[in-house]
A and B are shown apart, each in its own frame.
Chain A
Amino acid sequence: MADKTAVKKHHEPLIHIVKRDDIPEWQAWLIRGATIIVALIFVGFLSMLVTEKGFFETYKIMFSGVFGRLLQGSTKMLWKYLQEIAILLCLALALTPAFKMKFWNCGAEGQALMGGLASIFCMIEFGEKLSYGALIAVICITSIIAGAVWGIIPAIFKALFNTNETLFTLMMNYIATQIIAYYVYIEGGGSNVINPVSVGNFPAVGNNDYFVNIITVAVITVVMYIYLKYSKQGYEISVVGESQNTAKYIGINVKKVIIRTMAVSGALCGVTGMLLVAGKDHSINTNLVGGQGFTAILMSWLGQFNPFIMVVMTAIVVFLKIGVAKVADSSFLNSSFSEIMVGIVILMLVGCEFFIQYSIRFRRKNKEVAK
């Protein structure tokens, strides 16, 4: 044993990974901001390699893809961009109360689909029978209820039997998808397509079809911020999420809070489905939400559960999605390229949290000298 220790060389590990003290907010945001810039450059660089276009030209295509002829006075593309942000943001907002409660709702996709289904059902069934105002009201109420029910079911099982909510909500997505497929089959008369329904659409404001959607989500953003931060229910959500033991100790009915919060979460997903159907597509298919229910999970996380930061995060991600798709389009690549790029950026954003939590130190040179 003595020999072994004598032979042993003196070396300190080259790299230390050290847990940081809580760093100031602005420093954390500096790291995140830098990551976003690096990610954007990286995406531009990769696109350049693949498309063999110039570096700046790539960005030019991206910007024109997102904003269109904005400088020439055409706001058409801008509204479309805002609409895309609104949908993704609405889903992220819907997930946030559940996530703050540490209830991992992975079922935004299904909950939104059910909301959408309720909307299209009302449009088709009651479109001719009700006045426009009543029809819109019915659409709103049924969509909210449909989404909420889809959220409450896993919540009840979680509260009463402690089932795993992640798997449960995921499975509920498949059920919702199949229900939509069945409805489209019946309603479309075997063609698997429902032709756009012209009644019960949200009104266009000043030639802009998406105005209602954008305003609705803007209001939800502010309301959600207030709900989480200043309401008693929001406080209960935080306590239950941080520690169920504390919640019980203080007398909060944990089961009630879980179910109520999932009702809110599901209802907002239902609203998103309604915005997609009544405010945009006027039809439905199984790909209505198109995976945004999952992207929204990341948006909620990257936004630190703060609605206003989520606005920024979704704006960046949607910009990339549309912009890179345009770049891909111009070089005869398909949409997968855009998805790969968005995936890379999100990965980098998630990865940068590591550098916020930890710092990396290298072995100091002067110490070697001292020895």
Chain B
Amino acid sequence: MATQPAIELKNITKKFGKVVANKNVNLTANRGEILSILGENGSGKTTLMNMISGIYFPDEGEIRIDGKEALIASPKDAFDYKIGMIHQHFKLVDVFSAAENIVLGIEDGKYNLKKSTDDIKRISAQYGFNLDTEKKIYTMSVSEKQTVEIIKVLYRGADILILDEPTAVLTPQETEKLFDILRRMRDDGKCIIIITHKLHEVLSLSDKVAVLRKGEYIGTVNTAETNESELTEMMVGKKIDLNIERSVPENTEDRLVVNSITCVDRVGTTVLDNVSFTAKSGEILGIAGIAGSGQRELLESIAGLQRLEYGDIFYFDPQTGKKESLRDKTPMQIRNMGVRLSFVPEDRLGMGLVGNMDIVDNMMLRSYSKGRSFFLKRKPPKDLAMKIINDLEVVTPSANTPVRRLSGGNVQKVLVGREIAASPTVLMVAYPVRGLDINSSYMIYNLLNEQKKQGVAIIFVGEDLDVLVELCDRIMVIGSGKINGIVDGRTTTKEEIGLLMTKSDSDGKENDNG
């Protein structure tokens, strides 16, 4: 079976309005091989895969499967060609069990859950999955949900599997496990395509790498014959230094002290449980953890957007040295107290900015209420907008373009630019480089480092452990709303952080050293 082309793309082009998402892409994926599709965000990887799985229809070009031209006009057609896609965002019914989700929507006569369960168990055993078929989705971890998604497509007989950024939400240990399973599938003669932008994963997993850049197909190389810098060059179009600078913190002093805070959400679940830590000036404090472990609530508590059940948050004013409590204060009150707190939230267009407003009006969000006048002053925000567009090289037709029409990287530059322009003493950033291309990501790291040198206390919530380990001075690991440990960024390893992330309560005492 080996090296027999399973799927070939010939001159595929797809446009959305004026935007060319894919242009003349030629690609071959063989059976018994793992092919990585590598490209920056916005390079058209997902669009391409969506065309294979029947979600989009190509404007031009053809798709061949097993050497024959195939017409894939719907996801059902894709299934008929034995193509299975595992999306980045899972599409599962929360209140159903794993087995129920797997058989959902299959039209093959009778609904026989018992027989199906046996089949599912057979598939699990074959590839080494660990799955409880009775378990409900809502009680599952992200990695378990992903397992359900993968088995779902295998159960339907897929032998061409496409995985869209499968490791984005996994810990290093879970990633390794997934890779083992994928290798086993490859050895079984399946064709595996994984979409990713993480270089080291590409190198450790795949047999071949196809690189896309700005919608164009750059080339395919054998993994064994390439290295990180060559791949980066193909991906970005120029050589790039991938090292993140990390200076030694100087003159650090306590800026923000979080003292055993506890928060509950609307339904009464504890989302933050007795969290304590200190953020120091001139230092980047990283926060690592599985998505949804309380990172958002933690930052929102500090910003005055989350009600605290217990505990307190203290701010030490760098000028007066006064200690002030931020508990039970609204964002407006915190600002009026003279606390220079900037916050780049995770949800950029839904919280940090207003997508339908232009850059000027978005700049105004922070400053509009100043002064007694009934009317708005658009001059200062306009100047600020122009300055940020120039300084941070924001690509935009004008300062009056709605921000939703900017690319992800430029949206983030606008937001980070505005927050830094407020000359903060505490800067909180949540997933600041998610969805950004490499150049923009490095610009954000540089901006954070600059702020650090100016003595700002930075709290950095990240998901890419490689980056956290390279950038942060200290890394705090959060799991299920609890602090599982705080480690030194210079001496720790990804694996250590990964273990702390999944540490459960039963692991004994917390090694919390505030």
Using CB atoms and an 8 Å cutoff, list the residues of chain A in contact with chain B: 1, 4-6, 8, 10-13, 16, 18-22, 230-233, 235, 238-239, 242-243, 245-246, 248-251, 253, 367
Contact = CB atoms under 8 A, between A and B. Distances in A.
A246 B73 contact: no
B305 A248 contact: yes
Interface string B353-388: 111110001001110110001111000000000000
Interface residues of B, number: 45
A13 B364 CA distance: 47
26 contacts: A5-B70, A5-B81, A8-B71, A10-B69, A10-B71, A12-B57, A18-B17, A19-B16, A19-B17, A230-B375, A231-B375, A232-B373, A232-B374, A238-B361, A239-B357, A242-B354, A243-B349, A245-B347, A245-B350, A246-B353, A249-B305, A249-B331, A249-B343, A249-B352, A250-B365, A253-B330
A251 B334 CA distance: 9
A21 B356 contact: no
Contacts of A21: 16-19
A287 to B, nearest CB: 39
Interface in B55-73: 57, 60, 65, 68-71, 73
A1 B69 contact: no
Nearest to A226: B375
Contacts of A238: 354, 357, 361
Contacts of B374: 231-233
Contacts of A246: 350-354, 365
Contacts of A8: 71
B56 to A, nearest CB: 10
- Which 5 A-B pairs rank lowest in CB-CB distance, beginning with the nearest? A21-B17, A251-B332, A251-B331, A245-B351, A242-B354
Contact of B351 (A230, A233, A243): A243
B503 interface: no
Nearest to A11: B71
Given A8-B71, A11-B71, A232-B376, 11 more contacts: A5-B80, A5-B81, A10-B69, A232-B373, A243-B349, A246-B350, A246-B351, A246-B353, A249-B303, A251-B331, A367-B60
Contact of A235 (B70, B332, B356, B361): B361
B345 interface: yes
Contacts of A231: 374-376
B236 to A, nearest CB: 26
B405 interface: yes
Given A12-B57, A232-B368, A232-B375, A243 B354 contact: yes
Given A13-B57, A22-B405, A235-B376, A250 B331 contact: yes
A232 B365 CA distance: 11
B335 interface: yes
Which of A16, A18, A242 counts the most chain B CB atoms within 10 A? A242
B82 interface: yes
B65 to A, nearest CB: 8
Nearest to B305: A248
Given A8-B71, A10-B71, A13-B57, A239 B354 contact: yes
Contact of A249 (B65, B71, B80, B345): B345
Interface of B: 16-19, 57, 60, 65, 68-71, 73, 80-82, 157, 303, 305, 330-332, 335, 343, 345, 347, 349-357, 361, 364-366, 368-369, 373-376, 405
Contacts of A5: 65, 68, 70, 80-81
Contacts of A11: 71
B76 to A, nearest CB: 11
Contacts of B369: 232, 251
Nearest to B334: A251
Contacts of A249: 303, 305, 331, 343, 345, 351-352
Contacts of B305: 248-249
Contact of B376 (A230, A245, A367): A230
B404 to A, nearest CB: 10
A198 B332 CA distance: 53
Nearest to A361: B59
Contacts of A13: 57, 73
Nearest to B19: A21
B57 A20 contact: no
A21 B17 CA distance: 5
A370 to B, nearest CB: 9
A246 B81 CA distance: 45
B347 A235 contact: no
A220 B157 CA distance: 66
B482 to A, nearest CB: 26
A71 B364 CA distance: 52
Contacts of B345: 249
Contacts of A242: 354-357
Contacts of A12: 57, 71, 73
Contacts of B70: 5
B279 to A, nearest CB: 20
Contacts of A22: 405
A8 B69 CA distance: 11
Nearest to A4: B80
B157 to A, nearest CB: 8
Contacts of B356: 242
A251 B17 contact: no
B78 to A, nearest CB: 11
A8 B73 CA distance: 11
A11 B18 CA distance: 25
Nearest to B17: A21
Nearest to B15: A18
